[in-house]
Amino acid sequence: MITIKDINKPEPILAKGKELELFSRSSDVRATIKTLEAGKPVLVTAFYSNGLTLLNDLKTHLKRKFPNKTFKEQRAYRDAYRKLSLLILIEISEHKLSVKKAPSIGWLKLLYPETSDFLLPFTKVQGLNSAWQWYQNGITVPVLRNKIHPYYGTYFPTRFDHLILFDNWLKRYEGPKKSAIDVGIGSGVLSFQMVKYGFQKVFGTDTNPNAIVGLKEAMGDTKLSRKVELDFGSLFGKWEKPTELIVFNPPWLPAAHNLDSNDEAIYYKDTLFPHFFEAAKQRLLPEGKLLIIFSNLAKITKATTKHPIEEELAKGGRFQLEQCLNRAVKKGSDKTKRDQHWRAEEEVELWVLKHL
């Protein structure tokens, strides 16, 4: 059984014995950034806004050093920013941020019940704050009747084209609806869609304990909790019994670096798809459907020329294509400063496979 101790969360830094450079409004920004580049941590003091200021100055500094035109260049810039920004720390005392005009973040008490005084990277605190707002206020998803309340550290959709594509397919689906398996259930949206369209039982798995804990808490003892059964495990977890429908919304980009728990929702390892198809072959009923929600994102950003589903079909031996549906992705916000010219070519894909 998963407990709060198993949850993925920012590792608390105990401040005892540490001598840190302090950053406030009067600090020399250039000297502070040199300290960060030397691998030494910096502590934000006085006001919460000082941390925001330092992060903005760091971004400006890195943009001068790194070109930011192609997708790969953007990734290099983000990697450098992530590395240095993690050295910018902020103090927590009695589960509250010990600077003025700081937000109140309920996760600090929920996720760290045994540690009340510690340090965290400022960017992690930003993430905790955003996650708390989403958790408290809920997020509207166009394909669902009710809001979702994603738990900290759980992937949830911020764009909905792929969900609309899946919803349209479910509307036309006339096959059996006794059971389905949702591989990598995340915040539960795909499972909730299947329940909406009459599936009697959905078995969901995830390697992220936060997803399992969050969904159990969100569903409580409702009718939905009896329709959706959860397992903390890789791919199909403990679900061995064949089913009518397998749904998989994997990461859409190949991994270019070692992955942490949050990255695994975005980037996939080379072994993911071969292992998935091998296991899916054993768990799909003879007339069942295997649905994979994917995207051409990796191709149009030149992250790779390979397409894992096309490779599986070309290799043969397990599945054949029944249909592939595509939907153009809604254009990103004009307010974003990141160069996303490739967005005009982006499409989400719904691959429907069946046994050979």
324 near 331, Cβ under 8 Å?
no
Residue 338 pLDDT greater than 50, yes or no: no
Domain 161-355 class in CATH: alpha beta
Confidence of residue 339 (pLDDT cuts 50, 70, 90): very low
pLDDT, position 257: 58
Question: What is the tens place of the pLDDT at every residue in 290-331?
Answer: 999 999 888 888 888 889 999 999 998 899 999 999 999 876
CB atoms within 10 A of CB 89: 23
Inter-residue long-range contacts of 135-143, CB under 8 Å, 24+ positions, other chains counted: 135/106, 135/107, 136/106, 141/189, 143/167, 143/189, 143/193, 143/196
Q: Where are the domains of the chain?
A: 4-135, 161-355
Residue 265 pLDDT greater than 70, yes or no: no
Question: What is the tens place of the pLDDT at every residue in 83-142?
Answer: 999 999 999 999 999 999 999 999 999 999 989 999 999 999 999 999 999 999 999 999
* Residues forming beta bridges with residue 182, ordered by sequence position: 204, 247
The two three-digit tokens of residue 262, written as one number: 């949050």
What global pTM score does this model have?
0.85
pLDDT, position 255: 78
184 near 261, Cβ under 8 Å?
no
